[in-house]
Structure 1
Amino acid sequence: MTEDIATAGVLELSGIDESGVLIATMDNPPANAMNRALIRGLTELFVDLASGTDAPAVVLTGRGDRFFTAGGDIKELEGAEASELDGRMRDFHALLTALDRYPRPVVGAVNGHCVGGGMELALFTDGVLAVDHARFGFPEINHGLLPADKGIQRAVKLLGAHTARNLLLTGEIFGIRRAVDIGLVERVVEPDRLLTVAVERARTLAAKPAVLYAALKWSVNKPVDEDDGESLRATLSAAENYFDDPAAAAARARWSGRRDR
């Protein structure tokens, strides 16, 4: 691994000089929760790279051996107004859009828990490798929150309506075997080899002609401005309805209290 080429608080970038593959590591201990700084940092990264003439393949992972990311940072919502949630959801929608439209390979290297917004990130990569102890799920319904509409639509598209409905409506957290069975994870890798294998996978994909890879990825993902606008409106409308709902607020308070222990 080469020296870090950029460090931006909760996001560390490394590796590109050695392999031609950029490793982006979410680094917000203890659970790599996605606060607004991390969300905006990732968005800026993918937008800036895509605007260049030689965008690299990217491996996306988390710091440590327990968490890829535990999803959105609920602490940022404590005492916040509804407008704060509006801004967070706009930022997260922008991140998913940037991932959706990134023309080069993005490989998810899931090193631990990958839940909530982390599941959404994984679904917007071009392939997920994970360790045996990784855990997955959309627990938002149990925590007084909702995923982004764009993430929900991607889950339906990739995992199928029946599976996505079950995961979203139950909030179940599940292990690696089911993640492989439903097609979320393509390969289970030993923890000490995860980054090596992920970089190899990204390099293999990046060796394809860039113009063809980008065209095929665009056709598979089918990003459309009008659809993205509708997804954002649906996300913001849902957030406005649930943020001040007493039952949802109580669920968030219970979850926040458990995370303090």
Structure 2
Amino acid sequence: MTAERLLAVRLEVADGIGVIRLDRRPVNALDVEAQADLHRAAVEAATRADVEAVVLHGGEDKFSAGADIREMAGMSHSEMLVHSERLQAAFTAVADIPKPVVAAINGFALGGGCELALTADHRVCGRDTRIGLPEIQLGVIPGAGGTQRLARLVGTGRAKNLIFTGRALGAEEALDIGLVDEVLPAEDVLPAATVWARQFVGGPALALRAAKQAIDLGAGTDLRSGLQIERALFAGLFGTQDRAAGMTTFVTSGPGKASFTGR
């Protein structure tokens, strides 16, 4: 909490897991202040040594309705040029967290809410979830990474269909096209996301970071360049204590017996 207001987005840490919690009622609309809070929480999660995996969570009945349209409606072109840079920076900060990130999605994840879910490495949603990018119905396009991350996740054809129409998907259709990874009863979403995150606590943090970097950076380039990225990150891990522990323990005791320190 700041001296002036409650944070609309905050980081809560327990047992190695950081929960980035959206808490701007009634629909977790991401106004300018919430975007700043999101950026701050993402940077904190990225840099805290006691955070080894991250859960994005909006609550038991909603994830996020996206940007605050009332706020955006009054912005001029010149104001949006400045604001859009901050907007994208907040979401990019979440995508750049060098740790496994899972989105726990209940209710609706629309517009910026969907774009925030797209920054995660894994998405768990409730059976009542509605997810999509309806910006076209406002005469604009997604501006917080939706046109880029959705296309990379589900393919350009499906992304164009969803963005051109602005329609929201139900949970099962989202699962069918790969937009989400698990569909569960609403009450099981956060526990399942937490279980997914917990498997990485105490794991090889540097290797996990390198794996995420290799996949994310490689997805935006050609195969040859991606292989060069992979080779550099792979070789770099041979300078870590975790690699030495993992390989030595494998040779002496078999797989799955190593203890990692993140160094």
Asked if the contact 1:96–1:151 (Cα under 8 Å) also holds between the matched residues in 2, the reply is: no
- SS in structure 1 at match of 2:56: strand
CA shift, 1:170, in A, is 0.9
Paired amino acid for 1:60: L
Partner Cα distance (1:192, 1:219) in 2? 34
Correspondence 1:44-123 to 2 at 5 A: 44-65=40-61, 67-123=62-118
Paired amino acid for 1:33: A
Q: Give aligned pairs, total.
A: 218
Q: Deviations over 1:190-244 (max 9, x none)?
A: 222221111111111344310110001001111899xxxxxxxxxxxxxxxxxxx
> Is 1:39–2:18 an aligned residue pair?
no
Percent identity, please. 35
| TM-score normalised by the chain length of structure 1 | 0.77
Paired amino acid for 1:177: E
Partner Cα distance (1:111, 1:56) in 2? 23
Partner Cα distance (2:71, 2:169) in 1? 26
Q: Deviations over 1:63-111 (max 9, x none)?
A: 341x210111101123332233223311221022212221111110001
Structure 1: 5+ residue stretches without partners: 226-261
Partner Cα distance (2:124, 2:39) in 1? 22
Q: State which structure, 1 or 2, has the greater radius of gyration over its C-alpha atoms.
A: 2
Distance change (3 Å), C-alpha of 1:13 and 1:149: closer
Q: Deviations over 1:141-180 (max 9, x none)?
A: 0112221273311111111111101011111111011100
Q: 1:125 aligns with which of 112, 120, 124?
A: 120
Q: Deviations over 1:10-62 (max 9, x none)?
A: 12433x23x32111211111211111111111111112332344443111111
Asked if the contact 1:8–1:41 (Cα under 8 Å) also holds between the matched residues in 2, the reply is: no
Partner Cα distance (1:133, 1:104) in 2? 28
Asked if the contact 2:17–2:51 (Cα under 8 Å) also holds between the matched residues in 1, the reply is: no
Partner Cα distance (1:129, 1:42) in 2? 20
Q: Which residue of 2 aligns with 1:28?
A: 24
Q: Which residue of 2 aligns with 1:175?
A: 170
- SS in structure 2 at match of 1:174: strand
Structure 2: 5+ residue stretches without partners: 221-263
Partner Cα distance (2:32, 2:219) in 1? 25
| TM-score normalised by the chain length of structure 2 | 0.76
Asked if the contact 2:10–2:38 (Cα under 8 Å) also holds between the matched residues in 1, the reply is: no
RMSD: 2.4
- SS in structure 2 at match of 1:38: helix
Q: Which has the higher contact order (CA 8 A, sep 6+)?
A: 1
Asked if the contact 2:133–2:146 (Cα under 8 Å) also holds between the matched residues in 1, the reply is: no
Q: 1:165 aligns with which of 144, 160, 167?
A: 160
Deviates more, 1:101-110 or 1:83-92: 83-92
CA shift, 1:185, in A, is 1.2
Q: Which residue of 2 aligns with 1:11?
A: 9
